[in-house]
């Protein structure tokens, strides 16, 4: 079962070179042991192809048998683990944030130590096998459809889908056709000569919104280049915030499974607390890296993280944007209301997110000072950064894992209180950064 996702991100050919990637592959192979199987895949970027090949070489040098899915979405590869008796899944993709960065994701049942150390290579006669496959999508597609709500076919939904030029996902049109949805696709062609940037820019999201509104579509979605992240747009062309989509899924899942457990990262909105409490469920908030583990440990029925990452463990224990799309269509069909109406049932909270520069070695000073200032009066969580829960509000300060930045998430029922908290937190972080960082 997948319970850990580890990310390695950096500049291609400098921070993440072929030598580095090969070494990482060998370290992973050393940890799980020779003779085992690992699944690997990538997105359409050239850098991803290069780094994936280097990781593969490192794995094979440690005696690992590698099953290469080529260009394939993360949910499909992870879903195939059981079929190949694989212990680990690795994907390589272009970073959402910067075109020069590559992102390596390692999905496993145990957290793999990746500290720099000497890597052990097997003898020439024990090098692992390499196998290329493309049959995994048939099983994944079949099982997605088997779990889809039958009511979807009666609605003849019109959907606009942006695939972030997600090559190798030809089965998405087949899924949508089988569900009898009329679908408009953007950036989903295998034959585009110029790749577009995977980050969902305001311009790109506006294009989806405009198409949804102009075509009278029921739903618009953006799937990232890994297809583990999804953004929803309602029939009016309005972008649905992550906390709203999480609330819709949670409300539905608790209706279907009363008094069950929901897991989210600490970034989750207070709206989630309200929904879970009202429906008699149990909510566990944890660090971003432990969402999958907490879902497994507590047999949760749903899990979520931002931005736009959702887990439906009854299908698979992995973030899955494709399955989230089918689930949302099922909710719309069963409720027989537009998405905008479902959003109105999620308690409204105002939120702002911003970043402030802070050197990596000095980030803990910011967290420690916030704890010192708030711990005597308010409930504090250090599950991931530091979260301060106030009345009808919260402040979350998280150090970026990859950049010299502090990220701040502030939420409140009151717009006026949100503004005051935001200004106060900015001054505090900047003051600590300048004087004590």
Say how far apart CA 316 and CA 296 lie, in whole Å.
11
Report H helices in 36-105: 46-61, 74-79, 81-84
Q: Has residue 200 got a pLDDT over 90? A: no
What's the rounded mean pLDDT across residues 230-245?
96
φ and ψ of 333, to 5 deg: -70, -45
Asked if 368 contacts 185 with a C-beta cutoff of 8 angstroms, the reply is no
Q: Has residue 177 got a pLDDT over 90? A: yes
Token pair recorded at residue 325: 């799309």
> What pLDDT was estimated at residue 169?
59
DSSP readout, 127-153? PPPEEE---HHHHHHHHHHHTS-GGGG
Q: H-helix or E-strand containing 357?
A: strand 350-357
Q: What percent of the chain has pLDDT over 90?
A: 71
Contacts 24+ apart (CB under 8 A), 118-127: 119/23, 119/26, 119/27, 119/30, 119/58, 119/62, 120/26, 120/30, 120/62, 121/26, 121/61, 121/62, 122/34, 122/61, 122/62, 122/63, 126/34, 126/63, 127/60, 127/61, 127/63
Radius of gyration of the chain from its Cα atoms, rounded to whole angstroms: 22
Q: Has residue 184 got a pLDDT over 80? A: yes
* Exposure string over 157-193, b if 16+ CB within 10 A, otherwise e: bbbbbbbbbbbbbebbeebbebbebebbebbbeeeee
> What pLDDT was estimated at residue 168?
46
pLDDT tens per residue across span 40-99: 999 989 999 999 999 999 999 999 999 999 999 999 999 999 999 998 999 999 987 777
**Residue 316 DSSP code:** B
Say how far apart CA 188 and CA 257 lie, in whole Å.
35
Nearest partner of 148 among 377, 381, 332, judged by Cα: 332
Say how far apart CA 181 and CA 173 lie, in whole Å.
9
Say how far apart CA 116 and CA 358 lie, in whole Å.
25
Say how far apart CA 403 and CA 399 lie, in whole Å.
8
> What pLDDT was estimated at residue 166?
56
Say how far apart CA 399 and CA 365 lie, in whole Å.
11
Q: What is the pTM of this model?
A: 0.92
Token pair recorded at residue 307: 């931005």
> What pLDDT was estimated at residue 190?
53
* Exposure string over 332-365, b if 16+ CB within 10 A, otherwise e: bbbbeeebeebbeebbebbbeeeebebeeeebeb
pLDDT band for position 192 (50/70/90)? very low
φ and ψ of 239, to 5 deg: -75, 130
Say how far apart CA 246 and CA 104 lie, in whole Å.
26
Q: Has residue 191 got a pLDDT over 70? A: no
pLDDT tens per residue across span 117-146: 788 999 999 999 999 998 778 899 999 999
pLDDT band for position 416 (50/70/90)? very high
Residue 94: C-alpha distances to residues 24, 38, 306 (Å): 18, 21, 18
Say how far apart CA 395 and CA 366 lie, in whole Å.
13
Size (the chain), residues: 437
pLDDT band for position 222 (50/70/90)? very high
Report helix, strand or coil for 185.
strand
Say how far apart CA 399 and CA 410 lie, in whole Å.
15
pLDDT band for position 148 (50/70/90)? very high
Q: Has residue 437 got a pLDDT over 90? A: no
Q: Has residue 435 got a pLDDT over 70? A: no
Say how far apart CA 332 and CA 338 lie, in whole Å.
7
> What pLDDT was estimated at residue 114?
84
> What pLDDT was estimated at residue 358?
82
């Amino acid at each position: 079962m997948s319970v850990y996702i580890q990310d390695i991100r950096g500049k291609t050919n400098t921070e993440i070179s072929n030598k580095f990637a090969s070494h990482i592959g060998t370290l992973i192979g050393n940890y799980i042991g020779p003779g085992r199987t690992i699944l690997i895949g990538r997105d359409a970027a050239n850098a991803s192809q290069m780094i994936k090949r280097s990781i593969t070489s490192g794995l094979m040098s440690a005696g690992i048998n590698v099953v290469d899915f080529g260009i394939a979405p993360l949910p499909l590869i992870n879903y195939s683990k059981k079929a190949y008796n694989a212990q680990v899944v690795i994907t390589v993709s272009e970073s959402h944030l910067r075109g020069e960065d590559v992102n390596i994701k390692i999905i496993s049942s145990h957290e793999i130590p990746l500290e720099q150390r000497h890597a052990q290579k097997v003898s020439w006669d024990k090098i692992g096998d390499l196998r290329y496959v493309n049959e995994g999508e048939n099983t994944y597609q079949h099982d997605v459809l088997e779990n889809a709500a039958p009511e979807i076919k009666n609605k003849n939904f019109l959907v606009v889908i942006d695939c972030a030029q997600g090559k190798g996902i030809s089965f998405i049109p087949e899924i949508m056709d089988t569900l009898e949805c009329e679908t408009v696709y953007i950036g989903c062609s295998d034959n585009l000569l110029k790749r577009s940037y995977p980050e969902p820019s305001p311009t790109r999201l506006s294009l989806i919104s405009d198409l949804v509104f102009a075509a009278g579509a029921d739903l618009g979605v953006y799937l990232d280049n890994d297809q583990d992240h999804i953004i929803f747009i309602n029939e009016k062309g309005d972008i649905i915030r992550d906390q709203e989509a999480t609330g819709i899924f949670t409300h539905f899942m608790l209706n279907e499974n009363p008094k069950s457990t929901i897991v989210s990262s600490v970034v989750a909105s207070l709206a989630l607390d309200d929904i879970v409490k009202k429906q008699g469920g149990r909510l566990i908030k944890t660090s971003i890296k432990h969402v999958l583990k907490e879902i497994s440990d507590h047999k949760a029925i749903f899990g979520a993280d931002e931005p736009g990452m959702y887990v439906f463990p009854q299908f698979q224990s992995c973030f899955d944007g494709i399955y989230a799309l089918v689930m949302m269509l099922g909710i719309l069909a069963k409720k027989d209301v537009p998405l905008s109406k479902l959003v109105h049932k999620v308690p409204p909270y105002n939120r702002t997110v911003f970043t402030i520069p802070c050197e990596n070695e000095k980030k803990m000073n910011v967290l420690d000072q916030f704890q010192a200032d708030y711990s005597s009066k308010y409930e504090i969580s250090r599950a991931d950064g530091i979260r301060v829960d106030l009345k009808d509000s919260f402040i979350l300060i998280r150090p970026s894992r990859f950049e010299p930045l502090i990220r701040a998430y502030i939420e409140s029922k009151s717009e006026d209180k949100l503004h005051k908290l935001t200004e106060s937190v900015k001054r505090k972080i900047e003051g600590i950064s300048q004087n004590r960082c």
